[in-house]
């Protein structure tokens, strides 16, 4: 898997983990009568869920951004995964014209 795809995967995981905290609080919130709920109840449910999903999402976001930066630096230095595409294009130039129309 390329570094870009890994970075995007980590960023998607970060978004999912960020949303899980609120979805879990909403599931807990759904069992209550709206007339009995105060304005601080959602905050209490978020406290019940805890900060672990939020912490994990921040870590996943940082790792994802680091992978994307790493991929950009490698591409700039000419060592990236895109190097393989350029070599394949060079290979296509060496083939007879009937094989190039792919």
Compute how many other C-beta atoms are within 10 angstroms of the C-beta atom of residue 40. 9
pLDDT tens-digit profile of 22-31? 898 888 888 7
Q: What is the predicted pLDDT for the residue at 58?
A: 95
Is 78 in contact with 11 (CB distance < 8 Å)?
Answer: no
pLDDT tens-place string over residues 66-100: 999 998 888 888 765 545 554 555 555 666 666 65
CB 10 within 8 A of CB 16: no
In the numeric block, which tokens belong to residue 69? 């930066």
**32: domain range?**
3-100
| Overall number of domains in the chain | 1
Check residue 75 and give its pLDDT: 83
User: pLDDT, tens digit, for every residue of 33-70?
Assistant: 777 777 678 788 888 888 899 999 999 999 999 999 99
């Amino acid at each position: 898997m390329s570094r870009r795809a890994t970075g995007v995967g980590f960023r998607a995981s970060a978004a999912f983990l960020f949303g899980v905290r609120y979805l879990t609080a909403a599931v807990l919130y759904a069992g209550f009568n709206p007339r009995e709920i105060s304005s601080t109840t959602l905050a209490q449910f978020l406290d019940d869920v805890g900060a672990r999903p939020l912490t994990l999402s921040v870590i996943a976001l940082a790792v994802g951004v680091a992978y994307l930066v790493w991929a950009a630096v490698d591409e700039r230095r000419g060592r990236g995964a895109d190097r393989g595409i350029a070599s394949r294009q060079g290979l296509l130039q060496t083939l007879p014209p009937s094989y190039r129309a792919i």
